A and B are shown apart, each in its own frame.
Chain A
Amino acid sequence: MHSLFLFNKNILRIMPKVFVYLMIILAFVAVSCKSGGQGKDAGLEIPDSVLNAGVEISEEVMQDIVQNISSPVEMAAMIKDLGVPYSNKYISTTDRVGNLTTSFQQALNLGFYAADLGYLNMYNKTSAVVDYLTAIKTLSDAIKVGQFFDFTTLKRLATNSKNLDSLMYISVHSFNQMDKYLHSNNRTNLSALMVTGVWIEGLYLGTQVYKATPNKDLADRIGEQKLTLEQLMLILEKYRQDKQYIKLLDELQLLKELFKSVEIFVEKGEPQMIEVDGMLSIVQGDKSIIKISPEVLNNIINTTEQVRNRLISF
């Protein structure tokens, strides 16, 4: 009893000091981080760390699976390399942002807009870029990763077409930083949604372009998304305890069923290393061959469109 009394007395004596130090640290961190706290807090929100509590897979394994599962620019880069002209029909509109109130919707749509931004940047459509930057800024602030999105610099770069490389680099790097931050803060559920959004929008872009201008390379690229979808669903399965994730998984399952008919073979070969003018190049020996029938491809195109449009209005 006596020792308890002394303990309490000591605590009371040091409490003001501890409080002062704590406040200084918090103030400093808050100022330095420029944390995006402008998002809507719609009622009682379950912290992401609590949502993640039921996850059986370790964060290390998650990190192992997730890296580069879908890039916000890779599909767009391929489409541009194919010489396909730009069309604004393939991207989602930004007028929905105000209606996205849950962190689930915000993270998923952040992925959609990141992929759209990649497509716009790729075709140097800087006049439209600002709307997408604003949408991404709003959503990233809402899920508290806005500190990684340098909106002011990006907006400045977007107004000058000469800065395309910097615009592209900062856009993709910001997306990667957000993803890394969510991982390191035990919010992999939101990271998984962002990646899903990027992937769906990329697949939608690829399938819509194929519909307009069929191309063997693009058909292969669509077919091989079977592998990406498998990885993605593996990650999302971990959050099945949440109703919204179940709905999302049900949508992706529709695509998975169709992708079952896509066959992927591998021809074995030895890699070759070539050095030309001091530059090292490696040509892979193994080669994958994708077999996808026109019927299956057509079904994938149609289902992707339906799934993507439903997810947008989730």
Chain B
Amino acid sequence: MKKFIIIFAILTFVASVFTQAQDVSQLTAQCAANAGDVMYLKDFVVKLDQGTPGGAPPTARFALLLSKSVVYRFSICSAPNSDGEAVLQLFDMNTLLGSTFISATGKDFPFFDFKCQKTGVYHVFISFKEGKAGEGVGIMSYVKKL
């Protein structure tokens, strides 16, 4: 009986890992489709824990190389079971270039387009509002040549 319980626990664990991987894959495909009539280039899958009270919200960071004269689209999607709502921000060094959440107006956008005029390394930051825990995916797509 004990042996059966151990085997069942192992199989459940392995199955949950694969189910999770499938969920992420589905979320990525869905998010890429939601980005509209654009061409998928890259995804940024994040899973963040809840932040500490008063501390900065946990943030995932990704460095990217973007090319001049290209319009890129940055989209964000939160997993359905996510506590927090994901926000994607694009930075050039310390300058915030764009965000899917505009704090001044409280408005959310599923994506934003970035008309790149300078080839170089940029950073995508993904966090969850109010430092909540969550899972999500950011998508970078090619829109057109400027």
Contacts and interface: CB of A to CB of B under 8 A. Distances in A.
Interface stretch (B39-47, B79-87, B127-135): B39-47
B146 to A, nearest CB: 9
Interface stretch (A64-72, A244-252, A291-299): A64-72
A20 B10 CA distance: 12
Contacts of B112: 279-282
Interface string A52-80: 00000000000011011111011001100
A221 interface: yes
B65 A228 contact: yes
A81 B65 contact: no
B46 to A, nearest CB: 13
B92 A286 contact: yes
A68 B10 contact: no
Interface residues of B, number: 48
A44 interface: no
Nearest to A68: B64
Interface of B: 3, 6-7, 10-11, 14, 18, 28-29, 32, 39-43, 61-70, 90, 92, 95, 97-98, 100, 102, 109, 111-121, 140, 142, 144-145
Contact of B64 (A28, A67, A168): A67
A21 interface: yes
Contacts of B10: 21, 24-25
Contacts of A73: 39, 41, 142
Contacts of A287: 68, 117-118
Contact of A68 (B39, B65, B95, B102): B65
A281 B113 contact: yes
26 contacts: A32-B18, A64-B63, A68-B42, A68-B140, A71-B142, A73-B142, A74-B70, A81-B144, A81-B145, A169-B32, A173-B32, A217-B145, A220-B68, A231-B121, A271-B97, A280-B100, A280-B109, A281-B113, A284-B116, A284-B117, A287-B117, A288-B68, A288-B117, A288-B118, A288-B120, A290-B68
Given A67-B64, A217-B145, A282-B114, A77 B39 contact: yes
B145 A273 contact: no
Nearest to A25: B10
Contacts of A67: 42, 62-65
A193 B63 CA distance: 19
A28 B11 contact: yes
A283 interface: yes
A280 B98 contact: yes
B109 A266 contact: no
9 A-B pairs closest in CB distance:
A81-B145, A280-B112, A282-B98, A288-B118, A224-B119, A284-B117, A287-B117, A68-B64, A281-B113
Contact of B69 (A32, A220, A283): A220
A285 B29 CA distance: 32
B40 A74 contact: no
A258 interface: no
B41 A71 contact: yes
B28 to A, nearest CB: 7
Contacts of A173: 28-29, 32, 40, 43
A172 interface: yes
A29 interface: yes
B145 A224 contact: no
Interface in A194-236: 217, 220-221, 224, 227-228, 231
B119 A288 contact: yes
B60 to A, nearest CB: 11
Contacts of B62: 67
Interface string A152-177: 00000000000000001100110010
A254 interface: no
A17 interface: yes
A227 B7 contact: no
Interface string A19-41: 01100110011001000000000
A150 to B, nearest CB: 11
